[in-house]
Structure 1
Amino acid sequence: MNVFRRRLICLPALGLLWATAGCSSTDDRATAPVPSPDASTARLCQNLHAELPDRIDGLDREDPEPRSELTAGWGGSAIILRCGVPRPAELADPEAYGAEVNGVGWLTEEQKDGSYRFTTTLREAYVEVTFDAEHAQQGAGSLTDFAGPIKKTVPEGIAN
């Protein structure tokens, strides 16, 4: 009977621990892998980070976890920016789709889940912007909000 009482006493404590873990405020936060560029590229990305807007397409800025000056986000995971990413292999594909938006060139890649990934071209750092599937249905108009900050902080050229 003592064993039964000990188990009953432990159950509420275990339930409370489980409920607390399930209600963690970080559960619904967007995450993004942080790139690891060289020092000169990281400086360009830090400058870009300081110029990024607080709102894009009505979405508030909510930077993903882990926090970094190399990543930014809007609307949770609706729009995620990563600066200093490696050169996309698709840039070598002559069939790859590209576009220019307000003086910034972008490689455009549709992902299997319906999201889109856009990566800058002909800049000294590769900047990647991903729109989730829902936001991608609204088009790539949000890229206009990135053109000014990118042109101001990431010079034209070829990234390492």
Structure 2
Amino acid sequence: MSEPQNPSSEQDPTAEENATAEQNEHSTERRHPALIATAVALPVALVIGVIVAAAIANRTPVQQPVGLGPVEAPAAESSECTTLMADLPEKLGDFTRAELRDPAPVAAAAWQQTEGEPIVMRCGLPRPPEFNEASPLSIVDGVQWFEISGAAQGMDASTWYAVDRGVYIALTAPGGSGPTPLQDASAAVAKALPAQPPDPAPIPFP
């Protein structure tokens, strides 16, 4: 005669499956918050990145190329002008190097801000007719400059000529641009080209 089996000594397969399912359910519930946080964080970070990038783009307007007309520049293709143009700085004060509109003159460069008139440099120009032995000169970082104001022509700008290098270099700057652009240009000219004695015209007689 067989002994009666103790119901508690054997596990009910259905009960075991239910227990396992319950544990898995609890484990899944514990993972849900972390999974949800990760799933939400990724697209939110992406959206924030796009918004920030758009805001930066809106604060940085695209600068248009600067158009320059032709001027007399007999030494524009000289080795001095080639050397100077190849080593110009990216910035003159608060003005940033700008692209020139085609057809761009030889040995010319421009710097601009987001608005307003640009600063323009030209190399290889003839000696300015106004430059003579009585002309006052300004020395900036070792470079001698002769200034011609545009006020007589109704222009709020000045053109500075470097008169002590192997070629004449003109820097035209709008009014209010401050002294830093001329200082930065002087440093570039002094670095690229050796100094030479100025060659002014004789003082004109009345």
Give TM-score, length-normalised by structure 2.
0.55
Which structure has the higher relative contact order (CA within 8 Å, separation 6+)? 1
**Is the counterpart of residue 142 in structure 1 residue 178 in structure 2?**
no
| Corresponding position: 1:80 with 2:116 | no
Aligned AA for 2:84?
Answer: L
For the residues of structure 2 that align with 1:142 and 1:58, how far apart are their CA atoms? 8
- Secondary structure at the aligned position of 1:123 is classed as coil
Partner of 1:121: 163
1:92 paired residue number: 132
Change (3 A) 1:29 1:150: closer
SS at match of 2:125: coil
Two-structure CA RMSD over aligned residues (Å): 2.6
Match of 2:67 in 1: 30
- More off after superposition, 60-69 vs 48-57: 60-69
Contact 1:119 1:126 in 2 (8 A): yes
Measure, in 2, the Cα distance between the counterparts of 1:158 and 1:143: 20
| 5+ long unaligned stretches in structure 2 | 1-63, 200-206
- Note the alpha carbon deviations across 1:76-126, whole angstroms, 9 max, x for none: 7420000001001111161x3320001000001111212100000121111
Identical-residue share of aligned pairs (%): 26
SS of match in other structure, 1:139: coil
Q: What corresponds to 1:71 in structure 2? A: 108
Q: What is the distance in 2 between the residues matched to 1:149 and 1:28?
A: 22
Distance 2:197 2:166 in 1: 5
Are residues 151 and 87 of structure 1, via their aligned partners in 2, closer, same or farther at CA, if it must alter by over 3 Å? Answer: same
Q: How much has 1:31 moved relative to structure 2?
A: 1.3
Aligned-residue offset at 1:71 = 0.2
Whether 1:130 aligns to 2:172 is yes
Cα contact 1:83–1:126 (8 A) shared by 2 = yes
Partners in 2 of 1:131 and 1:38 — Cα distance? 22
Taking structure 1 as the reference length, what is the TM-score of the superposition?
A: 0.69
Any gaps of 5 or more consecutive residues in structure 1? 1-26
